[in-house]
Amino acid sequence: MQRIVITQPGGYEQLRLVSEPDPLPKPGEVRIRVAACGVNYADGIIRMGLYESAKRLHGYPITPGFEVAGVVDALGDGTKEFAIGDRVVAVTLFSGYSSHLCLPTDRVFALPDALSFEQGAALPTVFLTAWFMVHRQVHPDAGQRWLVHSAAGGVGGALLQLARLAEVQAAGVVGSPHKSAAASAQGAALVIEKSAGDWAAQARAFAPSGYDAIFDANGVSTLNDSWGLLAPMGKLVIFGFASMLPKNGRVNWLRLAWDWLRTPRFNPLEMTTSNRSVMAANLSFLAAEAPLLRRGMLWLLERFADGRLQAPPVEAFALVDAAKAQQRIESGQSVGKIVLIP
């Protein structure tokens, strides 16, 4: 087998391809011959040494990656849920950048026939994150208005699709004009381009009474404005801090410290009087909630199978080019999802 290993935090050069014997599945596990591995923004944060769950739950050396799709090619003793040759998609806690992977069957799911391996590997992390925020934190009602930042990205696009299913009117914020079409295709009722001017003023015009939910992955650059755009009883859900992180692969500690100092501290007294809330989500820290995540994944796959949900646009790189893939996603220019092909 081959996999990417990060021995210590650093730049793109830390993503090293290694060859090892194929793993053997334990009882209750299957081995997957991986056809595609999903790439997420969090993977680069793991490489930089800033991802808290990687430090707490795993440590270094580490293989990044939270999702794969492929074919079952070996079964552990007593494993009956799958057969050799089954097309599957799986949720991992790290270790996804691999050509072969052994996982317990409760993290493995049948891949709908309508989806390619590349599409399958692009789904679990972003759609489970969106599902958790929408259905476990926000609880949507038809007719609500939401604001989705990073609307052409993986989680942003998933949020727009879930908003459409819930009959919610969602405005999507994108950083560049070339991302507008992708946000519209995922279901945005309005696309706001930051480069066109005051994004907050455009957002306020779409929902003069405020938003019922705002999903923000930027951090200090937008959090204050997002908070100010909430309606009474509105919820601000935070799922990332992209504007605080570098685009050249290396951490600028002085800038990071400055952005941390400027990050809003939300006052519980103000939240009480305005009936507005702040929430947050990190899928990797939900790994202990396996039954909940399995329920969410089955809910999502049912809707991918019948066409109510659509896979995002996918851009593919070879596994050996993991550094180029991470550089692409950190550039802020990618649309949809990126996958690696072993």
187-198 residue pLDDT tens? 999 999 998 889
Give the residue range(s) of CATH 3.40.50.720 domains in the chain: 125-283
Give the residue range(s) of CATH 3.90.180.10 domains in the chain: 2-123+311-341
Helix ranges, 66-134 (H): 117-121, 124-132
Residues facing residue 317 across a β-bridge: 340
Helix ranges, 252-312 (H): 253-262, 268-274, 290-305
pLDDT of residue 196: 85
CA atoms of 182 and 185, how far apart (whole Å): 5
Q: Is the pLDDT of residue 247 over 90?
A: no
pLDDT band at 249 (very low <50, low <70, confident <90, very high): confident
Lowest-confidence pick of 56-60, 147-151, 301-305 = 56-60
pTM of the entire predicted model: 0.95
Q: Mean pLDDT score of the chain, rounded to an integer?
A: 95
Q: Which fold has domain 125-283?
A: Rossmann fold (3.40.50)
Residues facing residue 153 across a β-bridge: 336
Q: Is the pLDDT of residue 223 over 80?
A: yes
Q: Which fold has domain 2-123+311-341?
A: Quinone Oxidoreductase; Chain A, domain 1 (3.90.180)
What is the mean predicted confidence (pLDDT) over 243-270? 86
Close Cβ partners of 101 (under 8 Å, ≥ 6 residues apart) = 23, 31, 32, 34, 68, 90, 92, 95
What is the mean predicted confidence (pLDDT) over 312-318? 97
